[in-house]
């Protein structure tokens, strides 16, 4: 039996670690390819993609660097052995250079799978991670804008400030009353002292004599 093989690459706008993690996560693999996937992210773990159109087993896993799997589609001849898939992740300008080396494919099927990797993986991955980068950038801009705004006083702080103002006003009122009393006290004292004590005593007998004279009349 003859075999086909090919090697293709693309720049994906995300880090090697980010893409590696997404590839081995059932939910994210499904999201980035738009096809249902199930993945056991361990060596020996089973993987499926595109609603079990693809399936295989993990042979080797190097976090952030390389994934090696057995791979077969539902279009493989029943007696055909699994093909071999190697995916590598290399830091590059603009993100990560993802390289797919697909070998030991049943003869005559290689061209179709090569096109499938481009259309259903690379193109969709670029879109998926670009949207993620855009969201992250928007979140950072919003955060920086919030940092540049003057901080607003919280409700508890406002309440405390109001309470302080009330306390100050309350403290001023007794002080004003005390000041008024202090001002009026010297005036009252001055009135009492206007008439000397000796004159007041001398006036008392004169008043009594006047009263007695009125009675005799």
CA-based angle 51:54:59, to the nearest 5? 130
**Contact, 90 vs 99, CB < 8 A?**
yes
Residue 139 pLDDT > 60? no
- What gap in Å lies between CA 129 and CA 95, rounded to an integer? 10
> Residue 133: what pLDDT?
74
| 51 confidence band (pLDDT: 50, 70, 90) | very high
Q: What is the mean pLDDT of residues 109-121?
A: 98
**Contact, 65 vs 16, CB < 8 A?**
yes
Task: Give the number of other CB atoms < 10 A from CB of residue 106.
Answer: 20
Give the strands of the sheet with 3-12, arranged side by side.
3-12, 95-106, 83-92, 66-73, 54-62, 46-49, 38-39
Place of tokens 């590059």: 92
> Residue 87: what pLDDT?
98
* β-strands 46-49, 95-106 pairing: unpaired
Q: What percent of the chain has pLDDT over 90?
A: 60
Q: Using one digit for the tens of pLDDT, what is the confidence trace for 52-102?
A: 999 999 999 999 999 999 999 999 999 999 999 999 999 999 999 999 999
| Chain mean pLDDT for the chain | 82
> Residue 17: what pLDDT?
98
Q: Using one digit for the tens of pLDDT, what is the confidence trace for 154-203?
A: 566 666 767 777 667 666 555 555 555 556 555 655 555 555 555 555 55
| 1 confidence band (pLDDT: 50, 70, 90) | confident
CA-based angle 61:65:70, to the nearest 5? 40
Q: What is the mean pLDDT of residues 37-49?
A: 98
| Of 10 and 172, the one with more pLDDT | 10
Q: What is the mean pLDDT of residues 140-151?
A: 59
> Residue 216: what pLDDT?
55
Task: Count CA within 13 A, CB hemisphere, residue 83.
Answer: 28
Question: Would you state the structure tokens that stand for residue 75, as one six-digit string?
Answer: 């279009």
9 to 13, 22, 59, 92, 121: CA distances (angstroms): 13, 18, 21, 12, 11
Q: What is the mean pLDDT of residues 149-158?
A: 62
Q: What is the mean pLDDT of residues 17-37?
A: 97
194 to 55, 199, 207: CA distances (angstroms): 118, 11, 20
Task: Classify 103 as helix, strand or coil.
Answer: strand
- What gap in Å lies between CA 23 and CA 20, rounded to an integer? 5
pTM of the full predicted structure? 0.64
> Residue 157: what pLDDT?
63
Residue 104 pLDDT > 80? yes
Considering just the CA atoms, what is the radius of gyration of the chain in Å?
A: 48
């Amino acid at each position: 039996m003859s075999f086909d093989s090919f090697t293709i690459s693309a720049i994906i706008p995300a880090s090697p670690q980010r893409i590696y993690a997404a590839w081995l996560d059932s939910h994210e693999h499904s999201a980035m390819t738009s096809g249902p996937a199930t993945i056991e992210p361990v060596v020996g773990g089973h993987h499926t993609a595109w609603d079990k159109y693809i399936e295989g087993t993990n042979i080797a896993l190097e976090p952030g660097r390389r994934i090696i799997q057995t791979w077969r589609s539902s279009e493989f001849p029943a007696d055909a052995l699994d093909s071999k898939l190697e995916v590598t992740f290399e830091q590059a300008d603009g993100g990560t250079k993802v390289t797919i080396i697909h070998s030991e494919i049943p003869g005559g099927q290689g061209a179709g799978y090569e096109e499938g990797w481009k259309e259903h993986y690379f193109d969709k991955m670029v879109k998926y991670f670009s949207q993620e980068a855009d969201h992250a950038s928007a979140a950072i801009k919003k955060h920086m804008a919030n940092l540049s705004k003057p901080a607003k006083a919280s409700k508890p702080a406002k309440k405390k400030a109001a309470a302080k103002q009330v306390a100050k006003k309350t403290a001023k009122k007794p002080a004003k009353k005390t000041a008024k009393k202090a001002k009026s006290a010297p005036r009252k004292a001055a009135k009492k002292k206007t008439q000397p004590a000796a004159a007041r005593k001398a006036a008392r007998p004169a008043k009594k004599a006047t009263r007695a004279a009125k009675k005799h009349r």
